[in-house]
């Protein structure tokens, strides 16, 4: 189960970010932000090596002692669900691409994917 889910715009600002143990929110934000280094690296590597074969799975990005950060994984159901929900958000005519995501449906879906805070 995920403890933190973030959707990042291509300009590297967060479109959506949510983490479950809220007291550690800042730490998660730092972690997610730092792992963008690896995302950039992997994306540019993909761009160079195989331009047409767009692999969405970036795999393990940034292992830390406590958590592992994965980049967009299509081959697991979890990320497919996230992607579908994200697509729905993008299809909303009232959503302005680039704005932070405030969709309740998306939020609910993300909550279902997260560790249930007890």
Partner 1 sequence: MLCVQFLWILSEVQTSYIVSSVGHMCLSTVVMAKVLGVTCAGDQSLFTSLYTSLAQQLPKEPMEWRRSYGRAPKMIHLEANFVQFKEELLPKDGNKALLTFPFLHIYWTDCCDTEVYKASVKEDMQRWQNILRLHSSVDWLIVVVESDAKKKNKTNILPRTSIVDKIRNDFCNKQSDRCVVLSDPLKESSRSQESWSSFLTKLRTLLLMSFTKNLGRFEDDMRTLREKRTEPGWSFCDYFMVQEELAFVFEMLQQFEDALVQYDELDALFTQYVLNFGAGDGANWLGSFCAPVRSWNGLLLRRPIDMEKRELIQRGEASLLDLRSYLFSRQCTLLIFLQRPWEVTLRALELLHNCVQELRLLEVSVVPGALDCWVFLSCLEVLHRIEGCCDRSQLEANCSHTVGLWTYATEKLKSLGYLCGLVAENGPTSEDLNRTVDLLAGLGTERPETVNSMQSPYKKLKEALSSVEAFEKHYLELSHAAVEMYRAIGRMRSARLVGKSLAEFYMRKGDPERAEGFLEESLRLYVAEGWSLQVTHTRKQMAECQKLLRQTDDYLQTSALLAGDANLNQEERTHFCQEILSFASQPPGPSDQTVALSMAAFAQLRQLQFSPPGAVVHVGAALQLELRVRCLMPVAVHVGQLAATLHFSLEQGGARGRAGSSQRRPGQGPQGQGDGVVLFPQGSPLSGAGCSLTPALELYEMQDRSPSDSSLNSAGVVCKNVHLLLRRHDSNASLDTPTAGVLPAAVAVDDGAQMLRARDVTLQPGDNSILFTAPTGEPGSYTLRQLCGSVGRVQFVQSHIYPVVQYEVYSQEPQLTIEPLSDNLLAGIPQRVKFTIATGHYSIKKGDALQLSNTDSMPILHSSRCSATILSSTGEHMGERALSIQSSEKVTSISLPPTPPYHTLEFQLEVLCHIPPAPLKLDSERLTNGEVRHRSKSRSHADSAMIHIDQKVSIDCPWSIYSTLISLTFYVPFKAKHTLLSAGRRKYIQVCLQNVSDSNFHLADPVLVERQPTTTVELLSLNAKRQQLVCSQQSLFCLWEMRWAKDLPPCLQCEFSASFVPISALDPPAAFKTYRYEFQLDRVSTLYSVKAEICPASGDKHCRTGTLCGLEVSITRQAEPSETEGEEEESTEIEGLKTTKLMYEVVDNSSNWAVCGKSSGVVSMPVAPSATHRVQMEVMPLFAGHLPFPNIKVFKYLPHSAAQVIQPDTDSCLENDNLSLLDKGLDDQGDTASIRSRGSVHSVGSGEQQREQQRGLPMPRLEPFSPGQVFNWTQGRQVLVLPATDDHVMEVNVT
Long-range contacts at 63-66 (CB < 8 A, ≥ 24 apart): 64/31
Stretch that binds partner 1, among 10-18, 46-54, 70-78, 87-95 (CB under 8 A): 10-18
With CB under 8 A as the contact rule, the residue among 2, 3, 14, 95 that binds partner 1 is: 14
With CB under 8 A as the contact rule, the residue among 47, 59, 84, 99 that binds partner 1 is: 99
Q: Say how far apart CA 114 and CA 78 lie, in whole Å.
A: 10
User: What are the counts of helices (DSSP H) followed by strands (DSSP E) for the chain?
Assistant: 3, 4
Whichever of 76 and 100 has its CB closer to partner 1, that residue is 100
Q: Give the number of other Cβ atoms within 10 Å of residue 110's Cβ.
A: 24
3-state secondary structure of 2: strand
9 is a contact residue toward partner 1 (CB under 8 A): yes
Q: Give min distance, CB of 80 to partner 1, in A.
A: 25
Whichever of 41 and 84 has its CB closer to partner 1, that residue is 41
């Amino acid at each position: 189960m995920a403890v933190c889910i973030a959707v990042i715009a291509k300009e590297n600002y967060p479109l959506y970010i949510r983490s479950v143990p809220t007291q550690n929110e800042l730490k998660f934000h730092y972690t997610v932000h730092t792992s963008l280094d690896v995302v950039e690296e992997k994306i540019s590597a993909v761009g160079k090596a195989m331009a047409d074969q767009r692999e969405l799975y970036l795999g393990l990005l940034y292992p830390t002692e406590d958590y592992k950060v994965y980049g967009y994984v299509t081959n697991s159901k979890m990320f497919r669900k996230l992607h579908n929900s994200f697509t729905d958000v993008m299809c909303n005519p009232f959503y302005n691409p680039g704005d932070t995501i405030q969709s309740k449906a998306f939020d609910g879906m993300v909550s279902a994917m997260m560790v249930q805070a007890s």
